Amino acid sequence: MYLVTVFGNLLIILAISSDSNLHTPMYFFLSNLSLVDICFTSTTVPKMLVNIQTQSKVITYEGCITQIYFYTLFVVLDNLILTVMAYDRFVAICHPLHYMVIMKPRLCGLLVLVSWLLIVSLFYGTCLGVYFSSVATQNAHSTAIASVMYTVVTPMLNPFIYSLRNNDIKRALQRFLGGKLQRGEMFTFGGA
C-alpha cells in the first residue's frame, strides 16, 4: 500500500509537470496535494514497517517528537491544500468567465505558499501541545486501525479519486508513459 501511494502520487506529479496542457491552477494544486500525500505517508509508514519487521515498538523520544511534528504538519497542510482546491473549484463553477483573471499564477503560488507557512506556526503549536497535553488512555487496537486508515489508505486513494477519473490526467499519463515506453526508459519485470 505504501508503494502504491508513493508511486501513484509521484506518477500524478510527473504527468502534470510533463504536460503543458495541465499547467492550470487546478492541476497545480493537485500536484501539490500529491506531494503532500507522499510526505504525509512517509512520516509514519516506514517506521511502522520497520516495527512490524523487527517486532519492536520502540521509538526514541526525539524520534517520536519529530514524527509527531511532521505528521501534524502534513495533516494540516493536506487539509489546507484541499481547502485551496475547493476554492479553486468554487471560482471555476461560480465565476467561469472570470476564472483566469481571479486564479492568476501569482495567486495560486501565494495560496500554496500560505499553506506551506502551517510550518512555523505548527512548530510552535507542536511545542506548546507537548508541554500542555496530558496522556489519555485509549483502546490501542482501534487507534491503530484508525491510524492506518488515515495515514495509508486515504493518501493511497487520493490519486485515484482526484486524478485517474479525470480524462485530462488519463491522457497525460498515457502520453507520459507512452513516451517513456517508446524510448525504452521504463523497467521491464519478469525477465521480459
Q: Specify the CATH number for the domain of residue 115.
A: 1.20.1070.10
| Cα separation, 188 vs 171, whole angstroms | 22
> Which residue intervals of the chain are DSSP H helices?
2-18, 25-54, 61-94, 99-102, 105-116, 120-132, 140-148, 154-159, 167-183
Contact 16, 176 (CB under 8 A): no
| Cα separation, 112 vs 107, whole angstroms | 9
**Span 86-106, mean pLDDT?**
83
- pTM of model > 0.85: no
Could you give the percent of the chain with pLDDT greater than 70? 68
Q: Is residue 190 part of a domain?
A: no
Q: How confident is the model at residue 100 (pLDDT cuts 50, 70, 90)?
A: confident
Contact 26, 162 (CB under 8 A): no
| Cα separation, 5 vs 17, whole angstroms | 18
130: CB partners within 8 A, 6+ apart:
65, 68
- What is the structure's pLDDT at 137? 42
Q: How confident is the model at residue 134 (pLDDT cuts 50, 70, 90)?
A: very low
Q: Is residue 117 part of a domain?
A: yes
Q: How confident is the model at residue 12 (pLDDT cuts 50, 70, 90)?
A: confident
**Span 153-173, mean pLDDT?**
72
- What is the structure's pLDDT at 182? 52
Interval 61-80: pLDDT, tens: 888 888 888 888 888 888 88
Contact 180, 186 (CB under 8 A): yes
Nearest one of 73, 80, 76, 78 to 110, comparing CA atoms: 80
Q: Is residue 111 part of a domain?
A: yes
Total domains, the chain: 1
Nearest one of 89, 107, 91 to 99, comparing CA atoms: 91
By residue range, what is the domain housing residue 121? 2-183
Residue type, 34: S
71: CB partners within 8 A, 6+ apart:
40, 43, 44, 151
- What is the structure's pLDDT at 189? 38
**Span 122-138, mean pLDDT?**
49
Interval 33-55: pLDDT, tens: 889 889 988 988 888 888 888 88
Q: How confident is the model at residue 21 (pLDDT cuts 50, 70, 90)?
A: confident
Q: Is residue 188 part of a domain?
A: no
- What is the structure's pLDDT at 192? 41
